[in-house]
Amino acid sequence: MQLKLGRDFYLNENVVEVSRNLIGKFLVTRISGKLTSGMITETEAYNGSTDKASHAYNNRRTKRNEVMYAQGGIAYVYLCYGIHHLFNVVTNRKNIPHAILIRAIKPMDGVQIMLKRRKKREVTGIFTNGPGTVSQALGIKTLHSGESLTANTIWIEDRGAVIDKSRIQAGPRIGVDYAQEDALLPYRFRLDDNIVKSLRNE
């Protein structure tokens, strides 16, 4: 069963809960007619204007982050270090800038397409285990920022994968030391490494 997540999923007011619930869902793209997908295995929640690690901390609004203030269910894609296109899921109601960074996936559909995009010969344990590599493999770029996740370019599916919640590890986010005490918040979720390894061997 493949069920595209509807708008209601993204309107949940608890961005941390949504971030955890995205583990085991499938991020799918159809770009230039090419279908690719992967199971989401790692996420990070960013809790809007009160979160010092968020681009929208203290209600900051810029041309880049304006899409974070839209109604949940769209893509927020930004450029990191001038190289990496990082894909985020915007959640909650309009003007509440919650977002979730997709940090890692297990490749599923269109693996050969992903290998070509990443200029790799084979899928390894580090193939899509960082947010930059996720976007590169799936063909996501900053031009896709603002795309609806209920349309047909980028979307997320529930394929019925059963994830034991006890195997989802929570901990601090990566690379946000500037956020002071907020850097310690357990807003990063990832599947137990042993589970991910076993998934890769399926």
Q: What pTM was computed for the model?
A: 0.94
* One-letter amino acid of 42: E
- Banded pLDDT at 78 (limits 50, 70, 90): very high
Domain tally for the chain?
1
CA 64 to CA 49: how far, in whole Å? 15
- Residue-level pLDDT at 82: 83
Confidence of residue 81 (pLDDT cuts 50, 70, 90): confident
* Whole-number CA gyration radius for the chain: 16
Strand partners, 106: 39
Domain at 131, CATH number? 3.10.300.10
List, for residues 114-152, the tens digit of each pLDDT value.
Answer: 999 999 999 998 999 999 999 999 999 999 999 999 999
Domain around 19: 3-200
